[in-house]
């Protein structure tokens, strides 16, 4: 057996049993090494929340619900981008896919009953997954860089959104809208937050713990080595885009819930903001490392920035400067850590 075959065999075993032979403490350390954002991002969010309360002592449950509703679409956009970045790619069509889902939901649910709206929502999510599949097929079949393909498809899906609904409008039954607004049990527990946690847990936990998830990570970490180990890297990347389309569609439906209408331009800001959340949330832009928890928490941090600026009577547009500064600091810190590792 030559060296290449030995390496491929070893990687294949790692994909099937990523923590084989490790003790409990080693497994925990390994998990934290791959998901450092699980430590840093919650601390950063707590710091921002503390600053918000200090700036605005009158912060109440209504403010908490408003922040959760505002963060909901961005959190799903961040999750959608994170999956693709982990696989070694990038998706610049996320905002457009969200817009398609938003207008599709709002235009079809306008006169629907609550039960009909639930079935229509499922149909919209399937449409989002199908759009993601189209994006993925174009990427793996054309071998054109992801950034070019998804930038192009972003224009296409944006046009589709305009064809469905030329201007803001549509709607949904009040019972359906209440799934994304209001609170559950206590005024401090927003329905938006519950929806976010349930949707992400139901989709990402099974995927990340399955062979499919491991192959997505392996493809992003080292596509050539993964291919040599027997991983169908094209299928892995395709599935990453399907998941991205699904998360984007959930974000679009979430927009319908929180705003009550559909808008063909609703997703314009979410592509780059979602990518910013991914970077701040600890996902490596080179692929293979990170998760969706960090980016989702980062989405809440990014949502709090303009809120705090408003409370301070500062132009909220200055938040883009802060957001850019955070990205630069995170990227520089990541580069410094990588350099220190190589020096050892």
Q: How far apart are CA 33 and CA 16, in angstroms?
A: 19
Fold of the 61-343 domain: ABC transporter involved in vitamin B12 uptake, BtuC (1.10.3470)
Q: Kindly give the confidence (pLDDT) of every residue in the chain, 344 residues in length, as a single tens digit, with 9 standing for 90 and above.
A: 444 333 443 344 444 444 444 454 554 455 545 555 667 888 889 998 999 999 988 888 888 899 999 999 999 999 999 999 999 999 999 999 999 999 999 999 998 999 999 999 999 999 999 999 999 999 999 989 999 999 999 999 999 999 999 899 999 999 999 888 888 878 888 999 999 999 999 999 999 889 999 999 999 998 999 889 889 999 999 999 999 999 999 999 999 999 999 999 988 889 989 998 998 898 988 888 889 999 999 999 999 988 888 888 888 778 778 877 877 777 777 667 666 766 66
The structural domains of the chain, with segments of one domain joined by +, span 61-343
Q: Which long-range contacts (CB under 8 A, 24 or more apart) does 150-154 make?
A: 150/90, 150/91, 150/92, 150/93, 151/92, 151/93, 153/93, 153/96, 154/92, 154/93, 154/94, 154/95, 154/96, 154/271
Give CA torsion, residues 119, 124, 126, 130, to 10 deg.
160
């Amino acid at each position: 057996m030559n060296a290449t075959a030995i390496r491929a065999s070893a990687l294949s075993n790692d994909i099937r049993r990523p923590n084989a032979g490790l003790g409990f403490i080693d497994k925990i350390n390994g998990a934290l090494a791959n998901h450092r954002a699980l430590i840093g991002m919650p601390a950063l969010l707590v710091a921002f929340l503390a600053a918000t309360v200090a700036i605005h002592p009158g912060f109440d449950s209504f403010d908490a619900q408003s922040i959760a509703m505002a963060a909901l679409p961005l959190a799903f956009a961040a999750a959608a981008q994170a999956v693709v970045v982990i696989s070694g790619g990038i998706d610049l069509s996320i905002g457009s896919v969200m817009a398609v889902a938003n207008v599709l939901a709002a235009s079809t649910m306008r006169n629907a009953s609550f039960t009909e709206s639930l079935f229509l929502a499922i149909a919209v999510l399937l449409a989002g997954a199908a759009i993601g599949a189209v994006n993925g097929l174009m990427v793996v079949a054309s071998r054109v860089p992801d950034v070019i393909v998804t930038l192009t498809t972003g224009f296409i899906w944006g046009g589709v959104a305009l064809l469905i609904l030329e201007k803001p409008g549509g709607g949904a039954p009040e019972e359906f809208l209440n799934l994304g607004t209001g609170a559950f049990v206590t005024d401090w527990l927003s329905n938006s937050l519950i929806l976010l946690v349930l949707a992400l847990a139901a989709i990402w936990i099974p995927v990340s713990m399955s062979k499919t998830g491991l192959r997505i990570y392996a493809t992003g970490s080292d596509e050539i080595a993964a291919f040599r180990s027997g991983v169908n890297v094209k299928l892995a990347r395709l599935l990453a885009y399907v998941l991205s389309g699904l998360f984007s569609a959930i974000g679009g439906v979430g927009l319908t819930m929180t705003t009550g209408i559909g808008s063909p331009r609703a997703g314009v800001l979410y592509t780059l903001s979602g990518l910013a959340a991914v970077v701040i949330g600890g996902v490596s832009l080179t692929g293979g490392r990170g998760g969706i928890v960090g980016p989702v928490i980062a989405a809440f941090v990014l949502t709090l920035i303009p809120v705090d600026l408003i409370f301070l009577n500062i132009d909220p547009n200055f938040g883009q400067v802060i957001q850019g500064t955070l990205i630069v600091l995170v990227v520089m810190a990541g580069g410094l850590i990588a350099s220190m590792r190589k020096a050892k």
